[in-house]
Amino acid sequence: MSRGVGGRSPSNISHHLKGIEFPASRQDLVRHAQKGGADEEVLGVLKQMPERQYDNMADVMKGVGQAE
C-alpha cells in the first residue's frame, strides 16, 4: 500500500534529511530530521534503523528498509 509523499515514504524521509553531511550516525540523522520539522512517523523510522555510520543517502535508504 503506497502512501505517496509523506509519512514514512523514502521521498519524505530523504526530504527531511536534505543537506545532511555524510558520514552520519543514526543519531545524526534523527537530530537533522528533528531540526527540519520531521513528524513522529519519520523520526520513528529513523530511530528504528540499525545503529551504524551511513555514508550517503542510498545507504540511509537501505537502513530505512531494515527498519520496516
List, for residues 29-66, the tens digit of each pLDDT value: 999 999 999 999 999 999 999 999 999 999 999 999 99
Read off the pTM: 0.87
Cβ atoms of 47 and 21 closer than 8 Å: no
Q: What is the pLDDT of residue 68?
A: 67
For residue 1, being part of any structural domain is answered with: no
What is the extent of the structural domain holding 55? Answer: 10-67
For residue 3, being part of any structural domain is answered with: no
For residue 4, being part of any structural domain is answered with: no
Q: Report the domain count for the chain.
A: 1
Short-list 12, 6, 22, CA closest to 55: 22
For residue 5, being part of any structural domain is answered with: no
Short-list 60, 68, 4, 5, CA closest to 29: 60
Helix (H) or strand (E) holding 56: none
C-alpha cell at 38: 520531521
